[in-house]
A and B are shown apart, each in its own frame.
Chain A
Amino acid sequence: MLRRMSAVLPLRPLSRLPLCSGGPEALAAAVVLLGASPGAVRFFSLMHLSRTQNNIQRYFGTNSVIYNKKDEQSVPTHEISKETESQDSVKENTKKDLLNIIKGMKVELSTVNVQTTKPPNRRQLRSLEATVGRLQRAPEDAPKKRSESLSPELVAAASAVADSLPFDKQTTKSELLRQLRQHEEDSRAQKEGERPKISFSNIISDMKVAKSATARVSTRPVHQIQFDEGSDDYGGQEKTADLRKSLRKNIFKGKRLNIFDLKAITEEAPEAETAPSLWDVEFAKQLAAVNEQPFQNGFEEMIQWTKEGKLWEFPINNEAGFDDDGSEFYEHVFLDKYLEDFPKQGPIRHFMELVTCGLSKNPYLSVKQKVEHIEWFKNYFNEKRDILKDSNIHFN
């Protein structure tokens, strides 16, 4: 076994090694475990390896029991799971926030932030960053871009406001939007590098501004910082943009073909989803080859290897190559919360603790399967309730 492992290691690129760091004892330990579990060998968590081998399993204490005995210690676990749940409800919260705010005529200080800190949506964030990047790089296009990128959010906000008010909804909405547009045009005309955020606060400056109590949850400093950076740079480059504008008149201003209509182009036509044809695939390949350059340094080469799957993925941890629908390790390990319906003491409890202990060390089952496993025992004991009663054991 040791031979096999040492045969594996040199063939790997170097960065796979750290997993086996830890000196000779660790290697020896790994080897023993490798020998213990037949078939497919996974490195990801050595603790998990001892599923089938009881003789190894017994060397590990019943670690999970601590959390059972000490209630306050299991709190973090629950907190974590609750928090993930609460993320889902943030979206609703923001909407509710908005409603509350409008009803009490209290407006949160930075509306933009409320909008941008919807549930941590990666895609949206990226698009925001992209927008910011464009703002920095292409100031002459900025006003148009900004109205494009911000307006869906604005419209959403406005319609939420309109919904909450008892008056005619369409009117309210359009009034709000008109005010926003008006202001955007003003700020563009002034060309003083006004930040979009400021323009926002101007709009709502007539209203009473107060910090909402619930705002703490929804505003995350990270987002705010990103946004601020973007608008700062934007202000600085306005002047040069003016200069460029005057210069480029001659080529981009003038008669055009006047064949296509902007409206017709931009309107969304529902396109039938079809699998990419050979033409599409080959075109994509061509495009990919356009900016293909030799590696600039060793790290870029490692990036390539990572993408090809030849390297361990950074950051290196015990979960490499382990994917269970994104469930975290603690969901695998801390299974005590599923024992709530079992008796607090007695042989069934003891038995179930052993079961969860075993399950928590099993890397081959998904979290769902583990829960099902416990459920099965629950049903089993439920069915045998009569027998249990006879032997004076209570199961509720």
Chain B
Amino acid sequence: MSFLPPTLLLLSCSVSANSRAIPRPPPPPSLGDPEGRGRAFPTCCAKRAKMAAAASARWLRIRCRLCLPLKSRRADPCEQAPSCRAFIFCRFYSESAALPNVEGADVTGIEEVIIPKRKTWDKVAVLQALASTVNRDTTAAPYAFQDDPYLIPASSLESRSFLLAKKSGENAAKFIINSHPKYFQKDIAEPHIPCLMPEYFEPQIEDISEAALKERIKLRKVKASVDMFDQLLQAGTTVSLETTNSLLDLLCYYGDQEPSADYHFQQREQSEESEEATEENNEKSRKKAGPQLGVTWRAKNNAERIFALMPEKNAHSYCTMIRGMVKHRAPVQALNLYTELLNNRLRADVYTFNAVIEAKALMVNEKFEEKWNNILELLKQMVAQKVKPNLQTFNTILKCLRRFYAFGRLPALQTLREMKAIGIEPSLATYHYIIQLFYQQESSAKGSPLIIYDIMNEVMGKKFSPKDPDDDAFFQSAMRVCSSLRDLELAYQVHGLLNTGDNWKFIGPDNRRNFYYSRFFSLLCLMEQIDVTLKWYKDLIPSVFFPHSQTLIDLLQALDVANRLELIPQIWKDSKEYGHTYRSDLKEEILMLMARDQHPPELQVAFADCAADIKSTYENQDARQTVPDWPANPLNYIAVLFLRAGRTQEAWKMLELFRKHNKIPRNELLNEFMDSAKASSSPDQAMEVVKLASAFSLPICESLTRRVMADFAVSQEQKEALGNLTALTSDSDSDSDSDISEGK
């Protein structure tokens, strides 16, 4: 009972009180009633009735005094009744005390109260408001990846497989449910949740009728629809024009092939090129994307057959045929059919014109100029037929002009101006095409570099909504241009646009986002002050993207330029986390930067730790690979780092590794070893260095020998040995070879 708002109790009191006025009332609710009489009153009702309740407070007081004794007389089955009653008294008292003015003002007070308009909220308004309060957590992986800690991805590769695994799990479940709907009939949800129930993909109508054909078309059963159509024809039934047209739609859209199961995500992921695909490749994969990869239009296929069989054809029949032909790369047939359409004095719709424009551009063995004139001719026909162009018309033109290279530039600009002039707002895809046209890889230097600035000035601060399937390619290509122009200011502009409104949604799938941010971050590393770069580093990684090894190398170089090498161990830690443990180019870069110069001792200690860590990764790698391989440079660097940090023991062990893997140590390294030997005044170690040098027949051997003679107190034996070694190095190779084999 305690959860009831006081007004409810008031009302329920009044209810019971009032019921006494009726001769044969239903028994008034007793307070301990387990049904929770108060709950039966909707809470919103309570709100509405609150005023009325307040107004009747005086009246209620009288009535309640009457009713409560009445209640107490009643047999009360529930034990908790007394406490409840006490509660009611108490609540009631406070309520009436809080409203003395209402009592005093009497009824006239009510009229001044204006009931506020009820606000109706969208069903997701509350959630949207809440969602807008949540910012990105820069220290964590994106929300989509949050899962069991063991499963949270830490590298771009892992994140990809994470998403794929999640999605394919969903798809598998859906597949099972949809293919065996009879096992998933139990509907426990109340109210019913439709999206959890199996969908029916099998046609339910068995007999041969137009309704059955319609159903098969709706379920997108290409073959079954064609069969049904043929059976209907054989039975002598005429199929209505409308149904035949929708059958043609189906056949043309899927190119007379059964559509593969409708699991977009997987399809898209597979067809996209992996990271940093070039624009052209991307373009190709996009064109083919969709269920029917590489489906081409076959002559005399079912669509053509049914089209020929049709007794009467309207514009829609022609249009859908043309669109299908263009979609499945049969431009010549499409153009022929278009002529036929014109001959039949029918009008094509704007989509068909768009398709025909594409067909004209697809024609082989024609010069660019010829193609362009054909396209212009088509546009004029559109005007003549009073067909209004849409955004897709112009986007198609620009898309085609991209393949015209330098020739396409002027027409593209004219097309863009035409768009603006007739009031069609360009979409992101429009700009994407123009950028591609003007900044093709080979001609970026001599291309007119101002275009991108114009475009950015135009789009700055605008919020976009999806209008073209290519809209999500804009940011990638814009950032590519920024990066090739090395214009940080422009990159900030592009990034600002990305963060305007909901524009960030146009960044596209995972690989595009990675491309965009890697380019952006590389540019930051190159141009920005190191502090700002590091701020971006903290902000973007890992909550927005996982860096490639090249990105990290860029960052290392930026650190080098800014002389902030002390951060390198931290970067190495991060790179391990982001899955670059076995990237030898990255490791080599890190080691090189650490080993290049002398540093203060404490930093050298940190570097040595880092070097030891990297060394262990090489060793682990050895275990993984059948042919263990230590590149020479890392060996040198690690040895130097150990020496400088005073970890002499480990350094000498490194020297062993040189021998073991038959790598040649550098002169500087040998000198440093000599220094170290001198510091510890150990002639044995010095001898060891000389031995190694002579074993590889290094020219430095002689100078080292001289140093040993001069700096160390060498015994007679050692002197002799030294003499032998120098003789050996100047001698033949065979001896040195044997020496190495001895060493081994």
Contacts and interface: CB of A to CB of B under 8 A. Distances in A.
Please say whether chains A and B are actual partners in one complex: yes
B78 to A, nearest CB: 10
Interface residues of A, number: 106
Contact of B22 (A62, A262, A317): A62
Contacts of B264: 285, 289
B627 interface: no
A310 B15 contact: no
B379 A257 contact: yes
A291 interface: yes
A297 interface: yes
A252 B458 contact: yes
A244 interface: yes
Contact of A138 (B59, B163, B461, B502): B461
A210 interface: no
A381 interface: no
A2 interface: no
Interface string A254-296: 1111111110111001000000011100110111111111111
B37 A244 contact: no
A330 to B, nearest CB: 6
A312 to B, nearest CB: 9
Given A62-B26, A133-B463, A278 B42 contact: no
A261 B386 CA distance: 10
A277 B249 contact: yes
B328 to A, nearest CB: 13
Contact of B189 (A8, A296, A303): A8
B34 A25 contact: yes
B36 A137 contact: no
Contacts of A296: 131, 134, 136, 142-143
B85 to A, nearest CB: 16
Contact of B127 (A73, A137, A303): A303
Contact of A291 (B121, B415, B466): B466
A250 B1 CA distance: 75
A8 B143 contact: no
Interface string B253-266: 10000000000100
A298 interface: yes
A256 B127 CA distance: 47
A292 to B, nearest CB: 8
A335 to B, nearest CB: 14
A113 B462 CA distance: 27
Given A259-B376, A314-B124, A61 B142 contact: no
A207 interface: no
Choose among B34, B37, B126, B468 the residue with the greatest number of A CB atoms under 10 Å from its CB: B126
B489 interface: no
A313 B123 contact: yes
B18 A61 contact: yes
B191 interface: yes
B421 A256 contact: yes
B42 A315 contact: no
B417 interface: yes
A219 interface: no
A1 interface: no
A307 interface: yes
Nearest to B501: A137
Given A75-B110, A290-B472, A265 B28 contact: no
A28 B12 CA distance: 20
Given A47-B40, A65-B18, A8 B55 contact: no
> Would you call the interface of chain B mostly helix, strand, loop, or mixed?
helix
B471 interface: yes
A261 B423 CA distance: 10
Interface string A1-44: 00000011001100000000111011011001100000011110
Contacts of A383: none
Interface stretch (A52-60, A149-157, A179-187, A364-372): A52-60
B630 interface: no
A228 interface: no
A80 interface: yes
A22 B506 contact: no
A69 interface: yes
Contacts of A277: 246, 249, 316, 320
A124 interface: no
A11 B188 contact: yes
A29 B39 CA distance: 9
Contacts of B11: 63
A60 B3 contact: no
B195 A310 contact: yes
B191 A333 contact: no
A308 interface: yes
Nearest to B355: A279
Interface stretch (B45-53, B547-555, B568-576): B45-53
Contact of B420 (A41, A244, A252, A266): A252
A59 B33 contact: yes
B37 A66 contact: no
A297 B123 contact: no
Contacts of B44: 317-319, 329
B154 to A, nearest CB: 17
Given A73-B52, A252-B458, A294 B142 contact: yes
Contact of A333 (B23, B45, B457, B461): B45
A191 interface: no
Interface stretch (B204-212, B229-237, B446-454, B606-614): B446-454
Contacts of B616: none
Contacts of B131: 296-297, 299-300, 303
A256 B386 CA distance: 20
B190 to A, nearest CB: 6
Interface string B133-145: 0101000001110
Contacts of A137: 461-463, 500
A58 B25 CA distance: 9
Given A26-B39, A290-B506, 13 more contacts: A32-B34, A45-B40, A61-B37, A80-B115, A138-B462, A255-B414, A257-B376, A257-B418, A260-B383, A278-B249, A287-B466, A287-B468, A298-B143
7 contacts: A29-B39, A59-B27, A61-B15, A61-B28, A137-B461, A262-B422, A265-B389
Interface of B: 1, 3, 11-12, 14-16, 18-19, 21-30, 33-37, 39-45, 48, 51-52, 55-56, 59, 107, 110, 115, 118, 121, 123-128, 130-131, 134, 136, 142-144, 163, 188-191, 193-196, 246, 249-250, 253, 264, 268, 316, 320, 323, 351, 376, 379-380, 382-383, 386, 388-389, 413-418, 420-424, 450-451, 453-455, 457-458, 460-463, 465-469, 471-472, 500, 502, 504-507
Interface of A: 7-8, 11-12, 21-23, 25-26, 28-29, 32-33, 40-43, 45-47, 50, 56-63, 65-67, 69-70, 72-73, 75-76, 79-80, 83, 133, 137-138, 244, 247-248, 250-262, 264-266, 269, 277-279, 282-283, 285-303, 306-310, 313-315, 317-319, 321, 328-330, 333, 350, 353
Nearest first, the 8 closest Cβ-Cβ pairs linking A and B are A61-B15, A47-B40, A294-B144, A291-B505, A299-B131, A256-B417, A251-B454, A314-B126
